[in-house]
């Protein structure tokens, strides 16, 4: 003879039924609380969930979600990462660099030990350089980024960017300091030496020649090699060594690097030879 579930329940003593009901209610509350936590901004999955939201094209909603996570009771690491992502989306997807800078400054100020702080300085530099047209503030921020983490894979590029930006602003001394640091990185050595050659050319052509020669030794190729030839020839001409300058240009021609600028310089030097 089968006994139904309702009959079994009735046969339980009242105390046991109360105990079981309390257990079920407690378990249900735990599940609800866990689900609420998992779906909240404090959840470890919140950042990834919002990334998926951004990938679906909802940039505004994603930024709002990231900012909510940054203001939550989540860990410092999670909050800083959320603020960084909000800043990047604001800059790139929402095309609002000014608001992005506000988010990045908050990241630097409120989460000073976060690993994204170095990236925040670098992105602020990018915004100052390309959106605000302020090479000085850009250079300062790139130097700050590289100084915080000199071992960062992009530290050399940041110092190169800083040097070029400061040179454009007319701050030659600080530009050269930054470029000398970049010169020590193999990936930036050619570009840094070319930039230093340009800065030294008029006031110290002998040093400029050395800079351009260093670009060769660092492995200049293609357009960089052509610029190095042209720079060395120009430095030699400033030093009144016209034959050596012409020889430099002839070497460029032999290497197949002739263009209109090199040809004009070569013709001018040849014409002066006959004067």
Listed as ranges, residues in the chain with pLDDT below 70 are 1-48, 54, 274-275
How far apart are the C-alpha atoms of 4 and 77, rounded to whole Å?
54
How far apart are the C-alpha atoms of 258 and 252, rounded to whole Å?
6
Domain count, the chain: 2
155 within some domain = yes
pLDDT at res. 118: 97
For 120, the domain range is 115-187
Backbone Cα Rg of the chain = 32
58 within some domain = no
235 within some domain = yes
90 within some domain = no
Average pLDDT, the chain: 85
Q: What H or E segment, with its residue span, contains residue 188?
A: none
Question: DSSP of 96-124, one letter per residue?
Answer: -HHHHHHHHHHHHHH-TTSTTHHHHHHHH
pLDDT at res. 58: 86
Same structural domain, 160 and 217: no
Same structural domain, 170 and 119: yes
Q: Which of 141, 156, 187 is where one domain is finished?
A: 187
How far apart are the C-alpha atoms of 66 and 93, rounded to whole Å?
14
Same structural domain, 218 and 144: no
Q: Which of 171, 187, 203 is where one domain is finished?
A: 187
154 within some domain = yes
- Per residue in 57-106, pLDDT (tens digit) is 888 999 999 999 999 888 899 999 999 999 999 999 999 999 999 999 99
Same structural domain, 154 and 200: no
What proportion of the chain, given as a percentage, has pLDDT over 70?
A: 81
Q: Supply the CATH number for residue 201's domain.
A: 1.25.40
pLDDT at res. 155: 97
How far apart are the C-alpha atoms of 68 and 40, rounded to whole Å?
9
Q: Which of 129, 160, 187 is where one domain is finished?
A: 187
pLDDT at res. 180: 97
Same structural domain, 180 and 255: no
User: Considering the entire predicted model, what is its pTM?
Assistant: 0.79
3-state secondary structure at position 159: helix
- Per residue in 124-134, pLDDT (tens digit) is 999 999 999 99
pLDDT at res. 250: 86
pLDDT at res. 255: 82
C-alpha dihedral sign at 174, 180, 181, 182: positive
Q: How many residues does the chain have?
A: 275
How far apart are the C-alpha atoms of 65 and 44, rounded to whole Å?
13
Same structural domain, 172 and 249: no
Same structural domain, 253 and 178: no
């Amino acid at each position: 003879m089968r006994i139904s579930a309702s009959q079994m329940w009735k046969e339980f003593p009242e105390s046991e039924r109360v105990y079981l009901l309390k257990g079920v209610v407690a378990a249900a509350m735990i599940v609800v609380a866990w689900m609420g936590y998992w779906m909240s901004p404090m959840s470890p999955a919140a950042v990834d969930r919002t990334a998926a939201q951004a990938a679906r094209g909802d940039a505004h909603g994603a930024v709002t979600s990231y900012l909510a996570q940054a203001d939550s009771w989540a860990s410092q690491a999670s909050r800083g990462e959320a603020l960084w992502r909000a800043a990047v989306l604001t800059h790139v997807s929402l095309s609002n660099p000014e608001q992005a800078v506000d988010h990045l400054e908050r990241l630097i100020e409120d989460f000073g030990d976060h690993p994204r702080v170095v990236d925040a300085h670098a992105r602020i530099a990018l915004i100052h350089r390309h959106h605000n047209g302020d090479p000085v503030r850009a250079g300062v921020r790139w130097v700050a980024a590289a100084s915080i983490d000199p071992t960062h894979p992009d530290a050399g590029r940041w110092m190169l960017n800083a040097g070029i930006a400061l040179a454009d602003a007319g701050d030659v001394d600080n530009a050269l300091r930054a470029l000398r640091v970049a010169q020590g990185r193999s990936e930036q050595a050619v570009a840094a030496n070319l930039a230093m050659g340009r800065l030294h050319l008029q006031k110290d052509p002998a040093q400029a020649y050395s800079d351009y020669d260093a670009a060769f030794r660092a492995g200049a190729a293609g357009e960089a090699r052509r610029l190095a030839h042209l720079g060395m020839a120009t430095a030699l001409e400033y030093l009144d060594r016209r034959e050596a300058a012409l020889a430099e240009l002839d070497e460029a021609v032999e290497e197949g690097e002739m263009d209109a600028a090199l040809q004009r310089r070569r013709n001018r030097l040849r014409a002066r030879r006959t004067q």
